[in-house]
Each structure stands twice: as C-alpha cells, then as structure tokens.
Amino acid sequence: MSYIGTYERTIFYNPSNKYCIIRVKSSDQSIPQQARSAYRHRDNMIRFIAVGYELPQTDKVSMILDGEWESGKHGVQLQVERCEEIVPQTKEGVFGYLSSRLIKGVGEKTAALIVSRFGADALRVLEKEPERLLEIRGITPDKLEDIKASYAESRCVRDLMILLTPFNVTPTTAMKIYEHFGSRSVDILQKNPYELCQISGFGFKRVDAIVRKGTVPLNSPMRIHGAVFAALDTQRSEKGHLYLDETALAKVSVKLLNENTPDGQIKVTPEEVGAVIQDMILKGEIVSSNGNIYQINCFIQEDETARKIAEMLAVPPVELDISDSLEFVRKNLGIALSQRQSEAVYMAFRSNLSIITGSPGTGKTTVLRAIIEVFQMLYPKGKIMLAAPTGRASRRMAESTGRNEAKTLHSLLGLLGDSEPINKDKQKEPLDADLIIVDESSMIDMWLARQFFHRVRPGTRVILVGDVDQLQSVGAGDVFRELIDSGLIPVTVLNEIFRQKKGSIIAYNAKRINEANIDLQYGEDFQFVKCQTQEEAADLICRIFCEQVAIHGIEKVQILSPFRSEGSASVEQLNATIREIVNPVKDDIPDLKVGSCYFRQGDKVMQTKNNAKASNGDIGYIRKMGRNEENEMMVTIEFSGNRTVEYGMEEMTHMELAYATTVHKAMGSEFDIVIMPVLRSHYIMLNRNIVYTAITRAKEQVIPVGQKKALVMAILKKTTGKRNTLLGERIGKYLKAFARQNELKKVS
C-alpha cells in the first residue's frame, strides 16, 4: 500500500547501514487506526511510524511510502519497501531539499548558493548536468565528486535494500554489496545473484540459501560458478592463498555445493565442477597457470609484482665505492657498526633491491641511519623516501632515523584502502625518489606490493626492512618471506642483539621463542602472572592495566589479546570492562552510538581503515563530541604528535575502542608496556608467531597473564603454514626471459 507523508522526527538512525525509524505525518485517512499516534495534534495530521533504509530525514520534501504494516517495538509500523521523494517545484522547496543533509557535502550555505544560481531548476541540474555545479563558488572538482556519489548512492542503495528485503539480508551485508558492485548492484542481483560470491566475506551458503528459494537446480552451472568463486575467495581471505591447484579447487567447491544436500538426493559431481572450471578459464573469469587457479586480480597482482621486481634486478646497479664515506660516517657521526651491519650497508649500494631482516634490538635502525648518511654524502641532491605499512611504524621510523618525512605506504602511493585511490592521476606517476626504504615489510601483502613496485622508477634503489619471523601479512600472499626464500635478492640477516638494557630479557626471550625454545627467563621486564580461568585473567589484566596507567600514562600501556570477541579476556570484553573503570559515563555527555559501538568522550580509539585523515592502526583519544554549524554530529580525535582531526558519523564506523587490541592490529607498533592473556582456552589462536609478535611490541616490559603451560604449548606449536604463492618462482622466470632477450639483442 502507498501513503503520502512528510518526515517529522527520527527515532533511530544507523549511519553505517542507513537503517532508520522515523515518525511521519500525513493526511491520508486510509492509514490503519492501530498505526496512528493516539496523541491529537493541533494540525489534525495523522502520525505513524515508518521503518526502512535511506528514508528522507527532512520535512522539506514530501514522500510516497510503499510498504506493509507490521507490529514492532513502537507499535504498528509501516515496513517501507520503496520510498520516492516528491521533487519540490519552487525555489523555497528546492532550497529546503538541498539543505536537508540528504546529500553529503551540501549544507545550508552551499544549498543557498546553488539555488541562487539555478533557482527551481537546481535539482534538474544536479540530476542531468552535475558538472555545472562547478560554477558555484566553493564547489571544487573533489567536492563535486562527493556530491554526485552521494546523490547516486542514496538512490541505488535504496533500490538494493528493497530488492533484498524478502531475503532477510542484514543492512551491513547490503552495503557490502553496494561497495563492491556500485551502481551495477541491482542489475547483478536480478540476473545472476551468485556473483555475490565474488565479494570478500560473502559466504556461498548464504547466497545459496537466498537463491535456492527459487527453482535453481543443484547442478546449475550458475550455482557451481558461484561456489568456485567462493572457494577461491575463502582460501584467499582466511588462509592467505593466492591460488588453489585445480584438484583442490574442485574438491573445496564440491564440498560447498553438497554440504546441505539431503542423503539420497543427487549431488553435484567433481566432473560437473571441473567442466564449469574449464568454462570459466576459457571465458577469462579465472586464470589457470600450470594447473594453479587464480582469481584474476590475484594473478595480476602476483605476475605484475614479479615482473617489476625482475626488471629492477635485471638492470646492473651503478658501481659505488662507499668505503671512505662509511668510515667518515662512523667516525664523525658516532655510528658504530658490527661486521654484519657493515655488510648490510655495503649491500644496499651494490643492488637496486636488497633486504635487511632481523628481530627487534639487532640494530636495523642503526644500519638505516648509516645508509641514509652515506647516500646523502654520495648524492647531496638525491631524494630519499621512507615508508612503512602503518602510521605508527612510519612515525617511529621518522623518529629513529631523525627524518620527519616518513609516510605510510598508502599515503606515499595515494591510496585510501585496498581499492580506493585518493588521486588516480598521481597513482600513474613514478615515485620521485632515488632511494626508498620500507620498514616493517613483513606486513606487505600482495595487493600492496603490486601498488608499490608498479610505482618504483628505473634506477631507484629500494631497501626492504623487516622481521621475517613476525606474523604474516593480514592480506593474501607472503611477499617478504618469498623474496627472501627466492635466493634472487641480496639479504642481510642481523642476529646480534644490541638494543638491550642491562638486565633486560625481552629480546633474549624473543630470540628463544623464535627458536622454539621454552627455557625462558623471567624478571622485572618479563613478569608472568599466573591464573587459571578467563575470568581470573580478565580481572588481573584490568587491575594491572590500571596500575601501569597510573604510573606511566595510558598512551604507554597496551593490552594485546589473541582473541577478538570470545571470552572475558577477549579484546571486546576487555575494552568494555576497562572503559568503565578508566573512562566512566559522564552525566552531562551521553555516549555516541555508531552502528553497534558506543563511543565516549575521553575514549582511547583505533582507526581500522586507511583514510585521508588517519592510517589503519593509528591510536588516538576522543577529545570532543558535538554538532557543527550545519547540525552534523562531529567527533574530535587527537592522535600522536598533537595531531587533531574531526570525524563525521560515517567516518566513525571505521573506529573502535583500543584499550585492548588484537596482536595482528598491533603489528608495526611499539609500546612501552604490553599486557597479554596467555590461556589454554585461546589455544586455537596461540602459536609461536603470535607470542613472538606480541612480546616484540614491548620496549620496556612484557606482562603475560595466564597459564605457563599455555605459553609453552604456543611456543612449541608449529607456526602458520605456507601460503600458496609463486612470487619467487615468477621473478626467476622473468629474469631468465630478460636474459634471453638481452642475448638475442647482442646476436642481432
């Protein structure tokens, strides 16, 4: 049924998925009596509750609401399936519409300028000729893109939500679909819903459950096609594999397809799956390389990265004698180097690409300082770039080397996230550098490696620095280890501990753990606190955290947990408990709800996705919450270095509490004091790499809390298995091909 009404107020709104509950006023007498507000208003209009997605939250436009009446928390509500705004025809109406915050980037001031320029025709201009908005003072090309995207998104998302309503798909999942397919989302869902299996984290089982409500047969090629995509993506996202061999892929796909098929019913055969795989290969939907099957993007990432690295290695470096320069640096700048450290410096100038690896405390920073000083002596006008995968790692790199221009790799490359460019034109330009040093290189996945090496110009020297024994990259691939194991790139292994105060045993224990040696030392800076249960561990961790914060300050103490959400000693539970102790509710400042999270002024928070304001992993503190002049809720966050930025509600969806974080999230960071639960109930997530990575985040003190037996089990537990990647092999093949080409050129 359809009703015409006007927005009156918002009861609930979730900015992350656009879900809202609003009160509507209408003169439509067909509205059921039980749905009407019992309170009588002076205007004699009928009030009722409407529930849906992307519903207008402004009284400046009327709207047509299509839906069905359902009983809900607020009584009988209209479950909106379709909403259409009645476009205003007057200047006043158009101004009201544009100033209603329905369109991101357009507030009252901008709306007034647009209406002043285009009058009642402004909405037609926005729809048909949006480029004309550049005639308005203050609307830049970047702002225009935001306006266009917001305008188009609001309509596409609304149509998508309507299409998914019968299938009980969560709003968060619906937004994932839109983020992946954009304006094609509705068309794809209508023609081949199994294409949803291309989306990371979108399980085949769910898609299958939705589609199988229709008449799609079990062995439908469309269904098998979806299972193959899902199998490849699951192996990539959960295990870091870039490919599966054809036999393994068929096996995983068959299991997916037949998992919920009742006994006695005809099941999908490996032969049927194999036939679809071959068809997908022929159509170019997946790539087969010597029987190894890749998603197209994964193959491109690996292949192009290998080719670019091979090109670097194939060009002979400029021969340099750095002996005098290095000796000058040693004597005049007071940089002492061991024999192995000196070898690392020499190697950096003998190859266009070299690697320095070693655990914390082995003098990697000292080597980098020496390399930088020697380079500047040899090339006074040479350009140096320093980078790391995370913001904290890049800032630490800048501090330790004495250079202020260190950046995150994403910032260096003009990237927002794993698929979001800040500046597409900039991404095509080679990096303007003669020497590039990348720290924490073990965190680089294949996607980021491709972005980086694609931008390295010929002749640039690249030095990758990292600890190969830390956790593998969160994203797919195992780039740093593959480059080391290939034997094609010069590698210097630093294994002598230098950064160790007298009596300190953190570095000593890290080395022992890495060697699978359970004979650890305990003392002031490595204190094991015993307990038996998660509940006991959580209580102790909270008490220890508060004690250490009182002495050292909250910015120097960090809890690292293997588990995100399961049990009292998980990240989420510890964050909730500690927050109530160190930052309790303030009567005059209410909590801010963003999605399922609640934020409070004074909270310690972490950025979880790269954007133009902060990097993934950056930790900051909420200093202020309130509305701006356009009545938008804004959150002021202070990051390290007294860097203060403002976040809107949508940007806050990529923020989480950070009193405790996962070990993975802490990669690339350092803290004075690390507290870590070590429990047998965490065994599934505990292994040598996890423990090693956690304790090497600490500069002054490590406090494991739990069971020593769990720590022993973790140290002895085999580390994460080998990932399916052929980067090293591909580099070797390209090098041979380049060598053959050179030989042919000589002959001709």
Three-state SS for 463-503 is EEEECCCCCCCCCCCCHHHHHHHCCCCCEEEECCCCCCCCC
CA distance 473 to 450: 14
How does the average pLDDT of the chain come out, rounded? 85
The total number of residues shown for the chain amounts to 748
- Per-residue confidence at 56, pLDDT binned at 50, 70, 90? confident
Predicted pLDDT of residue 89: 66
Write out the two tokens for 497: 């501990």
Mean pLDDT of 566-574: 90
- For the record, the structure tokens of 123 come out as 């909405």
What's the DSSP call for residue 414? T
DSSP assignment of 557-591 equals EEEEES-SSSSTTSHHHHHHHHHHHHS--BTTB--
What is the pLDDT at residue 279? 95
- 704 or 149, which is more confident: 704
Q: Is 402 helix (H, G, I), strand (E, B) or coil?
A: coil
C-alpha to C-alpha distances, 133 to 95, 130, 145, 151, 152, nearest whole angstrom: 15, 6, 10, 13, 15
Percent over 70 (pLDDT), the chain:
90
d(CA 95, CA 80) in angstroms, rounded, equals 26
Residue 499, pLDDT score: 52
User: 90-142: per-residue pLDDT in tens?
Assistant: 777 777 767 766 677 777 788 888 888 888 888 788 878 888 888 888 888 88
d(CA 710, CA 480): 29
CA-CA distance, 248 to 274, in Å (whole number)? Answer: 11
Instruction: Residue 67: name the closest of 152, 6, 2, 15 by CA.
Output: 2
Identity of the highest mean pLDDT range in 186-200, 432-446, 712-726: 432-446
Quick one: which H or E segment has residue 705? Answer: strand 698-706
Confidence at 466, pLDDT banded by 50, 70, 90: very high
Cβ atoms of 57 and 40 closer than 8 Å = no
Give me the pLDDT at residue 72, please: 66
471: nearest Cα among 685, 680, 315, 285: 685
Pick from 680, 715, 687: which is nearest to 536 by CA?
680
% of the chain residues with pLDDT over 90 = 40
Distance separating alpha carbons of residues 207 and 186, to the nearest angstrom: 15
CA distances from 409 to 277, 449, 455 (A): 36, 10, 11
Q: Which residues contact 229 (CB under 8 A, 6 or more apart)?
A: 194, 195, 197, 198, 295
Name the most confidently modeled range: 310-319, 486-495, 606-615.
Answer: 486-495
| Burial (CB count within 10 angstroms: exposed 0-12, middle 13-18, buried 19+), residue 612 | exposed
Banded model confidence at residue 215, pLDDT cuts 50, 70, 90:
low
For 595-623, write each residue's pLDDT tens digit. Answer: 778 899 999 999 887 777 787 788 999 99
Q: Worst-scoring range by mean pLDDT, 2-16, 185-199, 291-305, 666-680?
A: 185-199
Q: What is the mean pLDDT of residues 391-406?
A: 81
Measured CA to CA, the distance from residue 464 to residue 129 in angstroms comes to 48
pLDDT of residue 597: 84
pLDDT at residue 419 above 50?
A: no
436, amino acid identity: I
CA distance 369 to 684: 40
Mean pLDDT, residues 503-531 taken together: 88
Q: How far apart are CA 440 and CA 245, in angstroms?
A: 31
For the stretch 426-463, what's the b/e string if a residue is b when 16 or more beta carbons lie within 10 angstroms of its beta carbon? eeeeebebbbbbbbbbbbbbbbbbbbbbbbbeeebbbb
Interval 468-482 mean pLDDT = 90
Tokens of 177: 């679909």
pLDDT of residue 498: 64
* CA 452 to chain CA mean position, Å: 17
CA gyration radius for the chain? Answer: 29
Beginning with the edge strand found earlier in the chain, give each strand of the sheet holding 243-245 in spatial order.
Answer: 243-245, 292-295, 286-289
Secondary structure element (H or E) that encloses residue 692, with its range: helix 688-695
Q: What global pTM score does this model have? A: 0.73
Task: In whole angstroms, give the CA distance from residue 414 to residue 255.
Answer: 41
587 burial level (CB within 10 Å; 0-12, 13-18, 19+): exposed
**Segment 297-319 mean pLDDT:** 92
What is the rounded CA–CA span in Å between residue 426 and residue 418? 16
**Whether the Cβ atoms of residue 59 and residue 26 lie closer than 8 Å to each other:** no
